[in-house]
Amino acid sequence: MKMHVKNRNVAIIGIGQTSFSSHKEDQNQAEMVQEAVIRALADAGLKIGDIDCIVHGNMELFEMQFAPDLWHSLGTGAYGKDEYRITTGGTTGATLVCAADNLVASGLYNTVLAIGMEKLQEGNTTGGITNMADPLWFRNLQTGALTGTTAQEMIDEFGEERAKRAAMRYRIMMDKHAMLNPRAHRRFGLEYSQMEDLMANSPPLVGELRLIHMCSQSDGACAMIFTSEEKVKQGTKNPPVWIRDHIQIHREETIPNLFGFNKPEVTHHYAARTLFARNGIQDPVAYFDVFEMYDPSAWWAVDWLREFFLLKGDEHLRMLEAGDFDLDGRIPINPSGGVIASNPIGATAMLRPAEAALQIRGDAGGHQIKKEVRHALASGFGGTFWSVLMILEKELNWQEVSHD
């Protein structure tokens, strides 16, 4: 049986972002959303009347705004249009892109606007994630992204010094990228010479997970416009970026308990090997020119690079230490500064393909990679290890996807 057959090709033709900040008192939610939407429309050279359908996403508990898409319609332009709302936790933004891709690919709509937003300053994120848990009975513990487990596992596997230096090197690299991105929220101007100091003195959160390792809480929005190959052929203002394929892998949080202390395959690894296999990609490090990865913390980021690139042993550490993931390294990671720099949750996972697409277009500005970007990878992540992975392409020339 054939599964996941793409009916027609879909391109990203418009991208709009707000700046990301913990202080947006000057805008209400609808105004913030509209800023991103207007930028995306301008980027695509379209008017709101050209949009057939709108997909809206955020975490409603984080703003305590019931049915936020209805209120935000002042800013989304959904008046008189078909509209869907998607809420899948941290992956929301990536799920929005998957949904928009599917809606256009199916033929239901020609041109779809997807909008991810979050205004965390107005709500209580921890209340929405952790306080609702009852770890003693069915509502399992949800720590969000605050966990020291990976730090300890990496220390056990690679030794304390090397593991700690790897996480901090990644963290400082992200800050160096964020310094080139004027929209990024946290831009500290860190230097590698501060590594030892930060490793010792950044306030510890859980074990060796320290404050400096963690992502921010940001306000902001991202909007993207998707259209069909037929529409692209009629002309686009900016070069189209093609969505080749995407995959979403979920896991129920208590599954590892079934395996005792033997960890099951990480969702990221399953997503990566499945996606690459069905697209005939043998060597992802060689194939891709950039990876915009959802990196909630520096420890997870380093660990997940091994999973996503299907690396073995300490290959990911050696690559990191050699500068392969730097902005102009072999396979640059998060030229935007990543989630560690900016985390407006409902928009965060959308920023990954949005930034990857800007890299393919050559329009990323100060954090543009110097070499040509033809093949990009983007990931989304959310609670209970949801993993979304997608492949973006500059040219519409890839091999037919295998579906067995």
Q: Which residue ranges make up the site for another protein (CB under 8 A)?
A: 24-31, 34, 47-48, 61, 63-65, 73-75, 77, 79, 119, 121-124, 127-128, 131-132, 134, 137
Distances in Å between the Cα of 138 and the Cα atoms of 37, 194, 400 are 40, 44, 44
CA 400, 250, 177, 38 torsion-angle sign: positive
Between 131 and 254, CB nearer to another protein: 131
Minimum gap (Å) between residue 104 Cβ and another protein: 22
The tokens describing 151, both together, are: 């730090």
Distances in Å between the Cα of 258 and the Cα atoms of 42, 253, 263, 267, 307 are 51, 10, 10, 16, 22
- 180 HSE (CA, 13 A, CB side): 19
Residues contacting 226, CB < 8 A, separation 6+: 10, 11, 12, 13, 97, 100, 101, 103, 104, 111, 112, 113, 114, 243
Between 16 and 380, CB nearer to another protein: 16
Between 118 and 355, CB nearer to another protein: 118
Task: Round to whole Å and give the CA distance between 123 and 113.
Answer: 26
Minimum gap (Å) between residue 219 Cβ and another protein: 9
Between 31 and 314, CB nearer to another protein: 31
Between 1 and 67, CB nearer to another protein: 67
Minimum gap (Å) between residue 184 Cβ and another protein: 22
Name the pairing type of β-strands 204-206 and 241-249.
Answer: unpaired
Minimum gap (Å) between residue 125 Cβ and another protein: 10
Q: In 3-state terms, what secondary structure has residue 15?
A: strand
Task: Round to whole Å and give the CA distance between 394 and 372.
Answer: 10
Task: Round to whole Å and give the CA distance between 248 and 82.
Answer: 24
Between 33 and 198, CB nearer to another protein: 33
CA 256, 166, 357, 244 torsion-angle sign: negative
> Buried b vs exposed e over 136-159: b needs ≥16 C-beta within 10 Å?
eeeeeebebbebbebbbebbeebe
Between 22 and 152, CB nearer to another protein: 22
Between 124 and 402, CB nearer to another protein: 124
Residues contacting 313, CB < 8 A, separation 6+: none
Minimum gap (Å) between residue 61 Cβ and another protein: 7
121: left (phi over 0), alpha (psi -120 to 50) or beta: alpha
Between 24 and 361, CB nearer to another protein: 24
Minimum gap (Å) between residue 89 Cβ and another protein: 16
Minimum gap (Å) between residue 25 Cβ and another protein: 6
Minimum gap (Å) between residue 313 Cβ and another protein: 43
Task: Round to whole Å and give the CA distance between 12 and 243.
Answer: 7
CB atoms under 10 Å from CB of 176, counted, come to 19
CB atoms under 10 Å from CB of 195, counted, come to 17
Minimum gap (Å) between residue 143 Cβ and another protein: 16
Minimum gap (Å) between residue 30 Cβ and another protein: 8
Surface-to-core class of residue 251, CB atoms within 10 Å of its CB (0-12 exposed, 13-18 middle, 19+ buried): middle
Between 77 and 353, CB nearer to another protein: 77
